[in-house]
């Protein structure tokens, strides 16, 4: 008996939520056009239209998937406009998404990344709607790649430039002072900054303050158990970034913070 070969892997990262039919419909297109496909949900709870949170989420998950995985990312506030649909080849995987900056962090991981505009319309559902490209464009293209019905070079022309979010890396604005962003808020209310642990290791042992709106965080803890109740503190997150938390509470609610908010760090 021949060993069973696993089917191709397609992941989904969207801001669709789970209350409506959108996620199920996208999966229906995938399994119709590529029977045997393995679909993995990374997240469907990205805050609506949050490019920052979407970029962070796929960047955190993709390195743990095998070569050849096809990722479909649909956080698309510009759906129906002139923004391009694209496929990015990076990390020996494929990323299908709108050209709106949501793949900025993936490109940062792989300097050899190559982007292609999705131009071959005979793979799309017809006629494509102006509001549901996840169903009509991204899912059919993912299925075509997964099934072997098409090759990357046949999808469209290679792009020399795609949209990138310009402020995903901290920027030094004064001596001992940096401007950054909140990348995402997790379901526990922890706020993930874009200050990397390797770039700012001194926070664990030096005096510092992180400012989020009118709030100031000046405490660093190694674990949640070490933190006092009700105090917002910084810690080294599993994400590789400095994160902000309140033990058994939502730091985001306390700070009135959202993904994309500007923050500052002072040493």
User: pLDDT (tens digit, 9 = 90+) per residue, 165-220?
Assistant: 988 899 999 999 999 999 999 999 999 999 999 999 999 999 999 999 999 999 99
| Stated pTM of the model | 0.93
Q: Which two tokens stand for residue 79?
A: 């759906």
Confidence label for 4 from pLDDT (cuts 50, 70 and 90): low
For residue 208, give the 3-state DSSP assignment. coil
Q: What is the pLDDT of residue 1?
A: 46
**What fold characterizes domain 171-266?**
Elongation Factor Tu (Ef-tu); domain 3 (2.40.30)
Secondary-structure class of domain 9-159 per CATH: alpha beta
CATH 3.40.50.10790 placement within the chain: 9-159
What digits encode the pLDDT tens for the residues 170-179? Answer: 999 999 999 9
Q: Mark out the alpha helices in 39-96 (DSSP H runs).
A: 51-61
Per-residue pLDDT reduced to its tens digit, 94-128? 999 999 999 999 999 999 999 999 999 999 999 99
Domain with CATH 2.40.30.90 in the chain: 171-266
pLDDT at 3 over 80: no
| 127-168 pLDDT, tens digit each | 999 999 999 999 999 999 999 999 988 999 999 999 999 888
Which two structure tokens, joined as six digits, stand for 66? Answer: 């095998």
pLDDT digits (tens, 9 = 90+) for 47-93: 999 999 999 999 999 999 999 999 999 999 988 888 999 999 999 99
The token duo for 256 is: 């009135």
C-beta of residue 91 within 8 angstroms of C-beta of residue 109: yes
Q: What is the reported pLDDT for 167?
A: 85
Return the ∠ at Cα 146 (arms to 43 and 130), rounded to 5°. 60
């Amino acid at each position: 008996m021949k060993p069973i070969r696993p089917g191709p892997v397609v992941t989904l990262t969207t801001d669709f939520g789970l209350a409506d039919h959108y996620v199920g419909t996208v999966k229906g297109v995938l399994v119709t056009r590529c029977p045997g496909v393995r679909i993995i949900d990374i997240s469907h709870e990205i805050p609506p239209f949050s490019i920052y949170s979407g970029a962070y989420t796929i960047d955190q998950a993709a390195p743990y998937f095998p070569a050849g995985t096809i990722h479909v990312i649909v956080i698309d506030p510009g759906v129906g406009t002139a923004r391009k649909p694209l496929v990015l080849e990076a990390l020996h995987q494929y990323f299908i998404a709108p050209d709106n900056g949501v793949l900025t962090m993936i490109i940062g991981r792989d300097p050899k990344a190559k982007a292609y505009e999705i131009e071959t319309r005979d793979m799309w559902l017809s006629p494509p709607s102006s509001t549901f490209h996840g169903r009509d464009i991204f899912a059919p293209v993912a299925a075509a790649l997964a099934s072997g019905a098409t090759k990357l070079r046949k999808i469209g022309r290679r792009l020399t430039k795609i949209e990138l979010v310009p402020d995903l890396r901290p920027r030094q604005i004064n001596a001992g002072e940096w401007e950054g962003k909140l990348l995402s808020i997790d379901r526990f209310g922890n706020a993930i900054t874009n200050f990397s642990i390797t770039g700012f290791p001194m926070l664990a042992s030096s005096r510092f303050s992180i400012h989020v709106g009118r709030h100031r965080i000046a405490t660093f803890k190694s674990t949640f158990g070490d933190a006092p109740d009700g105090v917002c503190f910084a810690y080294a997150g599993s994400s590789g970034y400095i994160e902000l938390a309140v033990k058994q509470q939502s730091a985001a609610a306390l700070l009135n913070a959202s993904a994309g908010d500007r923050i500052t760090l002072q040493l």
